[in-house]
A and B are shown apart, each in its own frame.
Chain A
Amino acid sequence: MRSDRRTLDRLGVVNVAGSALRDPLVRGGLSMGLAVALIGIAYGALTVDGGLPVWLAPLLGLVVLAGASEMLFVGLAAGGTSPWLAMVAALLVNTRHLPYGMAVRRLLGRGWSRVIRTHVMNDESVAYGLAQRDPDRARRAYAIAGFSVLVGWPAGALAGGLLGRVIDQQVWGLDAVFPAVILALLLPALRESRLRLPVLVAAVVSVTAVAWAPAGLAPVLGLLALPLVLLRRWRHA
């Protein structure tokens, strides 16, 4: 066993993979891919359950790469809503990528890298990137989480489509995973007291808005707490 390992070490394989995995930044990013894969299983199952083909969820996962909007789109389309109407509703859910893009513009790079990095913009990569203070680490964190999700999400969707109804999201507690990821990534920002009250207000506003706002738009309404950020900054200036 040990000598096998040494042979592999000599080949450099274990060294590269091992040192990458020892990097907490990589481990954190990979665990995010795994988390979205688990949620993707539920998405794939939902798609097949709605009478749509197995390949649809992984395909949308790859080209849209925005989980909540895909689930809404598939759910509506399978339920008989016009696909074009479902598309508009799903695009509404993705309006939050506008403020995301503004916040992470520096992590996007230039040229081809920018084209791809723009595509992997999602809740996880944005939160992971913004959680890093150092600009270089932020760029790496954004990319690691982004590509990890780009692989994990469609892979999970495919698995879910093949497994069908075998996995019940509620029984396995998978519905708690996504909010837990985002909460864990937000904590560094909340260690500074400056943002605590605005974040609390944003959460209350958006949760209240869920009852009446069109599906998926509620989180964007959290921006209504932005004047509070301004006020606090102005007072401390």
Chain B
Amino acid sequence: MPELLTVVLAGLGLAVGTYAIRTTGGVAGELLESRPRVQALMEDGAVLVLASVMATAALTDGAAFAGYARVAGVALAGVLAWRGVPLPVVLVVAAASAAGLRALGVA
């Protein structure tokens, strides 16, 4: 375990760096603002990244497969959301179905 002060300082460095990345994105977006096609492409790019975040979070744990219970929970949530079920219900079902499947022995 490294010294706590170093961990805290590095953590603050992470905060500053992350904020810098967020600001840079906003500013870069504005510099390209005058080109409507580039704008639309940026929004599609964010959707692609979000979809990738979702897919990796649903399917993987570290570098390994996350297991069928989580995947099934997320898939069921997707079906309900698609049918217009309110978000809070969707989230409860996601957790409950993953937990339920595990209780039944599905990994």
Residues of chain A having any CB pair with chain B under 8 Å: 24, 27-28, 31-32, 34-35, 38, 51-53, 56, 59-60, 63-66, 69-70, 73, 77-78, 80, 82-84, 86-87, 90-91, 94-105, 108, 114, 118-119, 121, 123, 126-127, 130, 170-187, 189, 195, 198-199, 202-207, 210-211, 218-223, 225-226, 229-230, 233
Contact = CB atoms under 8 A, between A and B. Distances in A.
Contacts of B69: 173, 176
B49 A100 contact: yes
Contacts of B73: 173, 176, 180
Instruction: List the 10 closest pairs (A to B, CB-CB), nearest first.
Output: A101-B25, A222-B52, A173-B99, A103-B46, A173-B98, A105-B29, A206-B52, A176-B73, A83-B10, A180-B94
Is chain B's interface secondary structure helix, strand, loop, or mixed overall?
Answer: helix
A178 B56 CA distance: 11
A221 B94 CA distance: 26
Contact of B95 (A96, A126, A173): A173
Chain A binding surface SS class:
helix
Interface of B: 1-2, 4, 6-15, 17-19, 21-30, 32-33, 40-61, 63, 66, 69-70, 73-74, 77-78, 81-82, 86-88, 90-91, 94-100, 102
A175 B26 contact: no
Contacts of B66: 175
Nearest to B75: A183
A132 to B, nearest CB: 12
A127 B50 CA distance: 7
6 contacts: A56-B7, A63-B12, A90-B14, A102-B29, A102-B42, A223-B49
A98 to B, nearest CB: 4
A51 B43 CA distance: 41
B97 to A, nearest CB: 7
Contacts of B91: 31, 34-35, 177, 180-181, 184
B14 A97 contact: no
Contacts of A185: 50
B11 A64 contact: yes
Given A202-B48, A223-B49, A186 B54 contact: yes
B14 A69 contact: yes
Given A32-B87, A77-B7, A182-B53, A83 B24 contact: no
B4 to A, nearest CB: 7
B36 to A, nearest CB: 12
A102 B100 CA distance: 40
A98 B28 contact: yes
Contact of B43 (A103, A178, A202, A207): A103
Most B-side CB within 10 Å, residue of A126, A170, A184, A189: A184
B81 A51 contact: no
A182 B48 CA distance: 12
